[in-house]
Amino acid sequence: MFLWPFRKILLLISSEASPRQLAAGVSFGLLLGLVPTANLVWVAVLLLALLLRVNLGMAFAIAALSKILAWPMAPAFIALGEALLRSDALHALGTLFWNTPYVALSGYNRPSVAGGLAMGLALGIPLFPLWVILINKYRVKILPHLEKYWIVRVFKGSVFFKFYNTIAGG
């Protein structure tokens, strides 16, 4: 069960999907994984991912991994969120958000949400171009070598793989 995200990521990287869509899925997956789920900020990130047509399979696989990895780091995210919410530089922006009805209901003013959002943005934005490069290099250098092995060809030609591909949409 724990290996599901890794398997899904490898299948997606090997698929016909655009490297930019996959990299955007990584960035949005980090945001979805690091922001707590019971608030409107998470829903807004998910809606933005749907509107921008990122690869949702990659986003959900990375979100699953980052949820698992973020759990032990939650105290650090809360400390970061508290520092951001108490910051004098962001006080005016926080007041503006607090006075906007739907934004105030979003839960941005919870330290865990603010810290997770800040960490997700800080990691997701720089990782986007890095993932585009890594996906392209994987497809050019590693994938052709893997497809030479007979076990990969047998597996790709199997009924199970074709059935899985139709179900999973890969």
Residue 169 belongs to a domain: no
In a domain, 106, yes or no: yes
First to last CA, the chain: 19
Helix runs in the chain, H state only: 4-14, 19-34, 40-51, 56-70, 74-85, 91-98, 101-105, 111-137, 143-146, 150-157, 159-168
Mean pLDDT of the chain: 83
**Spatial distance between the Cα atoms of 116 and 85, rounded to a whole number of angstroms:** 12
pLDDT at 103: 73
Nearest to 47 by CA among 97, 125, 106: 106
- State the Cα angle at 122 between 121 and 123, rounded to 5°: 90
pLDDT of residue 74: 92
92: in domain? yes
Assess if residue 118 is contained within a domain. Answer: yes
Q: 84 lies in a domain?
A: yes
Closest CA to 49 of 31, 67, 37: 31
Per-residue confidence (pLDDT) for residue 123, from 0 to 100: 93
Does the pLDDT of residue 114 top 60, yes or no? yes
Residue 156 lies in a domain: no
**What whole-number distance in Å separates Cα of residue 135 and Cα of residue 155?**
22
Domain that holds residue 98: 4-139
**Whether residue 69 has pLDDT greater than 60:** yes
Measured CA to CA in angstroms, residue 94 lies from 87, 99, 141, 143 at distances of 10, 9, 47, 47
Position 146 in a domain: no
CA distance 60 to 104: 27
pTM confidence score: 0.79
Q: What's the structural domain count of the chain?
A: 1
Identify the H or E element spanning 147: none
% pLDDT > 90, the chain: 44
Asked if residue 157 is part of any domain, the answer here is no
Q: What would the pLDDT profile of 46-64 be if each residue is shown by its tens digit?
A: 999 999 989 998 999 999 9
Q: Which long-range contacts (CB under 8 A, 24 or more apart) does 89-97 make?
A: none
Measured CA to CA, the distance from residue 37 to residue 54 in angstroms comes to 19
Q: Do 41 and 106 touch, CB atoms closer than 8 A?
A: yes
